C-alpha cells in the first residue's frame, strides 16, 4: 500500500501543476468583451496637408491632411481583465497613436480590427457552419428555403453542401438569397478599436480616446468685393468674407463635434497613410462556369453603356459661371455668417475654434466662416518690370495689384491662411467676377499684395538703348495710361546684388529695386536710367 501511494504522488503533482497553469492562463485567454458607449462628446482638430504648396488646392478624392480626434465615452468594467471595444472610430485611424485616459488599470494591449462586416467576411466567418439559402422555384414562382453548409471561402466561387450535394451559389441564373443566423464574432459594421485592461474591483468610468486619423484636409477661401468706384482709385476699400472648407474623406460622421482647425506648417515625418491601414469591407467574389466547363469560361461581358449626353458648350458654360458668380457674391456677403471661427495662438501655429458644435459628415465638405471684415483699406496700383539688358521692346500690359497691410489700421490684423481669393468689382450690371488669384500664408503685420491679372488700360514698353560697358546699360521704360483716372505704377528694375542704378530713386522691396511713379489719365511717362553691374 505504501508503495502504491508513492507511485501516485508524481501523478498528483503533475495534475496540480497543470491546474495551476490553467488558473494562471485563464484571465488572459478569456477576457470578457465590454462595449464602450457611443461618444458623448467629440472634438475634431483638422490639420491641412503639410506638403501642399500655396498654388495647390486640396484633393477632394485623396486628401493628404489629418485630424486629431478625441472621444469621451463611458465604460462599465467587470473585476479582473477585460477587452474594451470602441466601435465607430474613424476608418483612417492611426492605431499606434491612440491614447486612452481614465482607466484605473491602464492599458495591457491595443488592437485594431482589420475586417468590417461584409458579404465576404460573413462567408469566411461561417465556413463549415449552416446557412439558409432561399431560391425561386422556376416552375411555381414561389420561394423555397433549405439548410446548407458553407464549404468554401469567399475568395473564389461560393460552394454550399445541401441535401442534393455540392453546388455553386448564383450560377443557375435564378434569384438566390443567403441568410445567416448570426454575425460571426469579431465583425462589426463600423471600424473597431479594442483595448485590454485590468480593474481589480470593476466599476463604471468616463474615458477619453484620442488618436490621429488620416483622410482629412482643409483650405481657406476669400471673397473680396471692391467698393463702388474702387477700381479707379489709388486708395480703395473692400469687403472681405473668408471661409474654411473642411474635408472628411472617412466613412464615419462626427455629430455635434467641437471643431478646431490648425493653420501653419508642421514637420511631419510619419507616413500616416501607410500607418492607418483602413479596415476592408471585402466583396463576395463569385466564379461560375455557365458554358459547361472551366475551359469554356464565363459568358462574354455585357456591352458598354451608352455614352453620356453632350455637355454644355464652353461659351455657354463660361456665361453661366460669370452670371452665377456675379449674382451670388452679394448674397454671400449679406448672409454673413452668424457663426464665425475664433482665432487662437498655439505656439507658432494658429488655431481657429468654431464656437458652436457642428457635424462633420462622412465623405463630405463643410464650410465655416472664420473672418468677416466690412471695410479693408488698401490701394490699387500697377506693376511693371524693366531690367537692364532687355533687348525686346514689345508693348506689354501692366499687372493690376491690390495692396494692403495685415494690421488693424487697415481693417485686418489677423493671420490669413493660404487659399484662393475671389475678387468682385461693381459695374453698371452688378458686381462682376474679375479673378481668383492665390494667397500665401500671411502673419499679422505683413504686407498683403494680390495680383488681379493684366491691365486693360495701362501698358509699358521697356528697352535697353545703350550697352556701353563704360557708361553702364542705358535703360528706359515708357508707361501709358489710357484710363480716365491717374494710376500708380510700381517699377521693378532688378536686384541690388547685381545692379547699381543711377537716374532712379529706388528702394529695396522683397529683395528687388523698385520705384513708384504716378501717371496722369490719358498720358505717357518715360523714365531713363543707367545700370552698372555690381562687382563681387
All domains of the chain, ordered by start, with CATH? 119-179 (2.30.30)
**Beta carbons within 8 Å of 230's beta carbon, 6+ residues apart:** 236, 237, 238, 380, 425, 426
pLDDT tens-digit map of 161-188:
888 888 888 776 677 888 887 777 667 7
Q: What percent of the chain shows pLDDT beyond 70?
A: 78
Q: What is the pLDDT of residue 332?
A: 45
Q: Report d(CA 464, CA 494) in Å as an integer.
A: 13
Contacts for 57-61 with beta carbons within 8 Å, 24 or more apart? Answer: 57/219, 57/420, 58/217, 58/218, 58/219, 58/245, 58/247, 59/217, 60/247, 60/365, 61/249
For residues 43 and 357, the answer to whether their CB atoms sit within 8 Å is: no
Query: CA 410, 416, 419, 423: dihedral to nearest 10 degrees?
Result: -10
Q: What is the pLDDT of residue 189?
A: 72
Q: Which of 425, 17, 401, 389 is nearest to 238 (CA)?
A: 425
Q: Report d(CA 354, CA 37) in Å as an integer.
A: 26
Q: Which of 145, 152, 143, 147 is nearest to 124 (CA)?
A: 152
362 DSSP assignment: T
**Beta carbons within 8 Å of 83's beta carbon, 6+ residues apart:** 31, 32, 33, 34, 194, 195, 196, 197
287 DSSP assignment: -
Assigned C-alpha cell, 40:
458623448
Give me the residues of the chain with pLDDT under 70, please.
1-30, 114-118, 121, 156, 172-173, 185-186, 228-234, 273-283, 285-338, 469-470
Q: What is the pLDDT of residue 114?
A: 63
Ramachandran region of residue 218, left (φ > 0), alpha (ψ -120 to 50) or beta? beta
Assigned C-alpha cell, 397:
500690359
Q: Report d(CA 270, CA 3) in Å as an integer.
A: 69
Q: pTM of this prediction?
A: 0.73
CA dist list (Å): 439 to 408, 443, 448: 19, 12, 9
Q: Report d(CA 479, CA 289) in Å as an integer.
A: 79
Amino acid at each position: 500500500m505504501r508503495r502504491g501511494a508513492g507511485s501516485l504522488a508524481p501523478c498528483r503533482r503533475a495534475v496540480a501543476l497543470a491546474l495551476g497553469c490553467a488558473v494562471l492562463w485563464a484571465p488572459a485567454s478569456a477576457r470578457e468583451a465590454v462595449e464602450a458607449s457611443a461618444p458623448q462628446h467629440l472634438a475634431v482638430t483638422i490639420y491641412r496637408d503639410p506638403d501642399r504648396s500655396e498654388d495647390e488646392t486640396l484633393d477632394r478624392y485623396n486628401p493628404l491632411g489629418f485630424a486629431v480626434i478625441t472621444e469621451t465615452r463611458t465604460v462599465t468594467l467587470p473585476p479582473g481583465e477585460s477587452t474594451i471595444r470602441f466601435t465607430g472610430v474613424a476608418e483612417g485611424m492611426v492605431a499606434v497613436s491612440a491614447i486612452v485616459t481614465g482607466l484605473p488599470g491602464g492599458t495591457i494591449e491595443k488592437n485594431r480590427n482589420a475586417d468590417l462586416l461584409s458579404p465576404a467576411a460573413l462567408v469566411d466567418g461561417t465556413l463549415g457552419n449552416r446557412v439558409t439559402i432561399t431560391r425561386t422555384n422556376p416552375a411555381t414562382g414561389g420561394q423555397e428555403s433549405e439548410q446548407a453548409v458553407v464549404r468554401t471561402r469567399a475568395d473564389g466561387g461560393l460552394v454550399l453542401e445541401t441535401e442534393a450535394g455540392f453546388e455553386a451559389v448564383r450560377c443557375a441564373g435564378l434569384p438566390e438569397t443567403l441568410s445567416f443566423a448570426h454575425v460571426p464574432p469579431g465583425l462589426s459594421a463600423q471600424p473597431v478599436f479594442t483595448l485590454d485592461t485590468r480593474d481589480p474591483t470593476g466599476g463604471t468610468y468616463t474615458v477619453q480616446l484620442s488618436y490621429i486619423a488620416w483622410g482629412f484636409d482643409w483650405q481657406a477661401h476669400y471673397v473680396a468685393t471692391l467698393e463702388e468706384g474702387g477700381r479707379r482709385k489709388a486708395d480703395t476699400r473692400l469687403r472681405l468674407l473668408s471661409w474654411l472648407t473642411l474635408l472628411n474623406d472617412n466613412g464615419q460622421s462626427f455629430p455635434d463635434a467641437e471643431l478646431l482647425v490648425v493653420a501653419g506648417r508642421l514637420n511631419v515625418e510619419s507616413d500616416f497613410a501607410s500607418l492607418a491601414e483602413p479596415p476592408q469591407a471585402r466583396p463576395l467574389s463569385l466564379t461560375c462556369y455557365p458554358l459547361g466547363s472551366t475551359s469554356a469560361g464565363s459568358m462574354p461581358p455585357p456591352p458598354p453603356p451608352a455614352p453620356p449626353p453632350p455637355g454644355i458648350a464652353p461659351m455657354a458654360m463660361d456665361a453661366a459661371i460669370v452670371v452665377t458668380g456675379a449674382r451670388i457674391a452679394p448674397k454671400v456677403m449679406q448672409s454673413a455668417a452668424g457663426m464665425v471661427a475664433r482665432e487662437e495662438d498655439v505656439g507658432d501655429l494658429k488655431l481657429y475654434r468654431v464656437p458652436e458644435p457642428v457635424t462633420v459628415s462622412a465623405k463630405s465638405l463643410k464650410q465655416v466662416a472664420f473672418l468677416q471684415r466690412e471695410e479693408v483699406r488698401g490701394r490699387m496700383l500697377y506693376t511693371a518690370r524693366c531690367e537692364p539688358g532687355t533687348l525686346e521692346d514689345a508693348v506689354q500690359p501692366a499687372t493690376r495689384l491690390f495692396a494692403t497691410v495685415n494690421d488693424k489700421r487697415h481693417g485686418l490684423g489677423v493671420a490669413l491662411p493660404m487659399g484662393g481669393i475671389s475678387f468682385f468689382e461693381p459695374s453698371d450690371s452688378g458686381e462682376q467676377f474679375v479673378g481668383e488669384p492665390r494667397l500665401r500664408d500671411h502673419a499679422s503685420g505683413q504686407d498683403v499684395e494680390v495680383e488681379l491679372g493684366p491691365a486693360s488700360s495701362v501698358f509699358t514698353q521697356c528697352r535697353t538703348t545703350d550697352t556701353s560697358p563704360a557708361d553702364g546699360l542705358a535703360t528706359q521704360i515708357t508707361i501709358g495710361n489710357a484710363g480716365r483716372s491717374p494710376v500708380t505704377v510700381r517699377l521693378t528694375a532688378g536686384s541690388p546684388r547685381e545692379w547699381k542704378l543711377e537716374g532712379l530713386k529706388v528702394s529695396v522691396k522683397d529683395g528687388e529695386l523698385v520705384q513708384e511713379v504716378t501717371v496722369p489719365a490719358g498720358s505717357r511717362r518715360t523714365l531713363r536710367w543707367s545700370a552698372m553691374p555690381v562687382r563681387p
